[in-house]
Structure formats: C-alpha cells, structure tokens
C-alpha cells in the first residue's frame, strides 16, 4: 500500500480584548471568579504543523525570542494532550508565527494552543468533535476555549464557560503594544493587594455593555468598556496612563488596558479614524509599536486544508 505523507496544516488564531472584565473573589482553587466579555480581533498568530521524527517547536515573527520552544510552550502541551487522547505519537514540527504581542494581555499563548488543537486534529485525522476540543482547550488554559470560538462571547467561571454574544457590525481598534510584558498572575496578585488596601472599585454587571453591542454603535459601547485588572496593571506600569491618555487625545472614543496588560486597546469610531489614531499614537512616543485591528473575527481556523484530502 502506498503511504501518503500528510501535507502541512496551517491555522490562524485571533487575539482577544476584554470589553468587560469583572474580577470576583479568589476561589479555593487559586483562580478568581470572572465575568468577562471577550472580542476576537484580527491581530493573529499563524501555526503550521507538519509530520516530523520528533516533537519540535519553532517560533518566528515579532517577539519570537521571548517565547519558549520547549515543553513549557502551550502548543507543546496541546500536542502531547491531543496525541495521548487520540492514541498517536506526538511527532510533529510546530512553527508559530507570532503577530500577537507576548505577555501582552491578548491571549497569544492561548491562541497558539487553540490553533495547535485544530491543526493537529486535522493532520492526524482524529475527528474529535467541537465539544471534545472545547474540553481539551479548557484543560490547557482559561482563555483557550475562547481562542477556539472567536467572535464575541460572555465568559464565566475562569473565563472558560462561554456563551456567544450578539453583535452588530465590525468594531475598529488601535492597539498600543508596550515595551516588555506583564505576567498575568502578578497582575492578579497586585489587584488582590490593592483591594486589601481598600481600592479600587469593582465593575458592575455586563448587561448594559451586552446591550450596547447589539446596537453596533461604537459611541454607545465606548463609555461602557471596563476592566478590573486595569488599576493593577497601571500600578505595576504607571507609564500606561500616558499611553491611555494619548490614544484618547489622538481621537479614540475610549481606551482600556487589554486583559492583564500591558497592551492598551482603543475603540475608534470607524476604520478611517483607527488609521488616523494609529498614526498619531505611533508618533507620540508612548508605546513600542501600534497596530490597527478589527473585530469580531472567527476563532482558530484552518487556512490550508490540503491535509484533509
Ligand atoms: P493572557 O492574555 O491569556 O493572560 P498573555 O497574552 O498576557 O496571556 P501570552 O502571550 O499568552 O500572555 O504569554 C504569557 C507567557 O506564556 C509568556 O511570557 C511565555 O513565557 C509563555 N508562553 C508559553 N507558550 C507561549 C506561546 N505559544 N506564545 C506566547 N507565550 C507563550
């Protein structure tokens, strides 16, 4: 019998911004109870998987040097998990092309893990269902299920229990990428510390924001964006205040720290305004680099499905 070597599979996975991120109390398992509304953005990573003699991970693109290529990379864990569940050997070369800032609060590692699950399910012809992949994703990390799903969604629990949120039209964003990253656990600990000292206030429910999304009007949405982690990120990196101010002065409707930061996300009135805000922000010297993005976009998707044939 002729054995056919499967062709590489290429998957693109989106970044995310939290439009609403309410952090509740610390649970017994060490996680905080979250209520969050995620939106998947067009700034993305690409993951390519190809058959190999052994499991290897290579990282190229922006920030590549900051990403581990050993078993601490989330894609390595995704490959070992899927191989064990599917009863195959995890012999694959995984190439990650980073577009999402590393440790930037935009779920870059989670996007790569979601992409690896989708790509390897196809390469190894495992036929795991979406609910199976969701369960594997939740074991890999709190944000991985959303990276699989994309769109706009309400997340509860650790953020892994998802319900889609209806949105009208595309929203236009400018992202200010910072020099260096912030560690998510450190930002949560800083919030616990600030709360123990009596500051800051907690976000209310996401109801008004969810309603604003159905209007499709960024002017209605802008004042409702909120992130309980922002105070902690600003406490750890006070320069971000200047970045947030500069984006609004450049014409954005609102600016927030994305997730645990330090990326700042600016909601703009339309695509043209986003280009103008990005140009002005790039010249203001308040961040490492600037990107324009839009959302919602789909979750991890195969770009080249030759492996299916
Ligand atoms: P989140 O928004 O989900 O809290 P983040 O976007 O702030 O995460 P990541 O880019 O996912 O942060 O990276 C956090 C850390 O995880 C990095 O500092 C890096 O050491 C490690 N890491 C493991 N796998 C990856 C990966 N595939 N891409 C980026 N970082 C990874």
The preferred substitution site among 109, 141, 188, 263 for testing ligand 1, maximizing ligand atoms within 8 Å of CB, is 109
105 lines ligand 1 (CB under 6 A): yes
pLDDT for residue 62: 78
| Dist. CA 286–CA 302, nearest whole Å | 36
The preferred substitution site among 36, 44, 56, 67 for testing ligand 1, maximizing ligand atoms within 8 Å of CB, is 67
Number of H helices, E strands in the chain: 10, 12
CATH class of 9-165: alpha beta
Ligand 1, atom 14, residue with closest C-alpha: 103
Ligand 1, atom 18, residue with closest C-alpha: 103
Helix runs in 87-206, H state only? 108-123, 130-140, 144-149, 184-196
| Dist. CA 59–CA 29, nearest whole Å | 32
Burial class (CB in 10 A: 0-12, 13-18, 19+), 57: buried
pLDDT for residue 307: 46
Give the angle subtended at the CA of 237 by the CAs of 194 and 40, to the nearest 5°. 95
Q: Where are the domains of the chain?
A: 9-165, 171-295
Q: Known catalytic residues?
A: 16, 143
73 lines ligand 1 (CB under 6 A): yes
- Domain 171-295: give its CATH code: 3.30.70.890
Instruction: Please give the chain's pLDDT, 309 residues, in tens.
Output: 566 778 999 999 999 999 999 999 888 888 899 999 999 999 999 999 999 999 999 999 978 999 999 999 999 999 999 999 999 999 999 999 999 999 999 999 999 999 999 999 999 999 999 999 999 999 999 999 999 999 999 999 988 899 999 999 999 999 999 988 899 999 999 999 999 998 778 999 999 999 999 999 999 999 999 999 999 999 999 999 999 999 999 999 999 999 999 999 999 999 999 999 999 999 999 999 999 999 999 999 999 655 443
Q: Where are the beta strands (DSSP E) in 52-139?
A: 56-61, 92-98
CA separation, residue 259 to residues 58, 103, 159 (Å): 26, 10, 12
Residue 215 near residue 165 (C-beta atoms within 8 A): no
Ligand 1, atom 12, residue with closest C-alpha: 103
Residue 269 near residue 244 (C-beta atoms within 8 A): no
CA separation, residue 16 to residues 36, 45, 78, 191, 242 (Å): 12, 12, 20, 21, 22
What's the chain's length in residues?
A: 309
Give the position, in ligand 1's atom list, of the atom nearest the Cα of 182.
Answer: 7
- Give me ligand 1 centre to Cα 153, in Å: 21
The preferred substitution site among 65, 99, 103, 141 for testing ligand 1, maximizing ligand atoms within 8 Å of CB, is 103
Ligand 1, atom 15, residue with closest C-alpha: 103
Ligand 1, atom 26, residue with closest C-alpha: 109
177 lines ligand 1 (CB under 6 A): no
- Give me ligand 1 centre to Cα 97, in Å: 14
Ligand 1, atom 27, residue with closest C-alpha: 109
pLDDT for residue 308: 44
Token code pair at residue 138: 């939740």
Residue 297 near residue 278 (C-beta atoms within 8 A): no
Query: Which residue, 169, 154, 165, 176, is CA-closest to 220?
Result: 169
222 lines ligand 1 (CB under 6 A): no
Count of C-beta atoms within a 10 Å radius of residue 239: 12
């Amino acid at each position: 019998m002729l054995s056919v070597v499967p062709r590489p599979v290429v998957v693109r996975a989106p970044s995310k911004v939290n439009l609403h991120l309410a952090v509740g109390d610390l649970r017994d398992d060490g996680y905080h109870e979250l209520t969050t509304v995620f939106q998947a953005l067009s700034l993305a990573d690409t993951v390519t998987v190809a058959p190999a003699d052994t499991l290897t991970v290579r990282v190229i693109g922006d920030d590549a040097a900051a990403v581990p290529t050993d078993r601490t990379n989330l894609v390595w864990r995704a490959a070992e998990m899927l191989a064990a569940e599917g009863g195959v050997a995890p012999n694959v070369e995984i190439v990650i092309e980073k577009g999402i800032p590393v440790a930037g609060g935009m779920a870059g590692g989670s996007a790569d893990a979601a992409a690896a699950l989708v790509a390897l399910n196809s390469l190894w012809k495992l036929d795991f269902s979406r609910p199976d992949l969701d369960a594997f994703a939740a074991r890999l990390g709190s944000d991985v299920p959303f990276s699989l799903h994309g769109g706009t969604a309400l997340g509860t629990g650790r953020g892994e229990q998802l319900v889609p949120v209806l949105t009208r039209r595309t929203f236009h964003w400018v992202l200010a990428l910072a020099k260096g990253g912030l560690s998510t656990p450190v930002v949560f600990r800083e919030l616990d510390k600030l709360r123990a000292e009596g500051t800051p206030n907690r976000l209310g429910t996401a109801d008004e924001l969810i309603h604003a999304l159905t209007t499709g009007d960024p002017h209605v949405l802008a004042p409702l964006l909120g992130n309980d982690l922002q105070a902690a990120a600003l406490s750890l990196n006070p320069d971000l205040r200047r970045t947030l101010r500069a984006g609004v002065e450049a014409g954005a409707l609102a600016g927030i720290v994305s997730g645990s930061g330090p990326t700042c996300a600016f909601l703009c009135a339309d695509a043209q305004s986003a280009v103008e805000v990005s140009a002005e922000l790039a010249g203001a010297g308040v961040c490492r680099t600037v990107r324009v993005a839009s959302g919602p976009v789909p979750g991890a998707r195969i770009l080249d499905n030759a492996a299916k044939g």
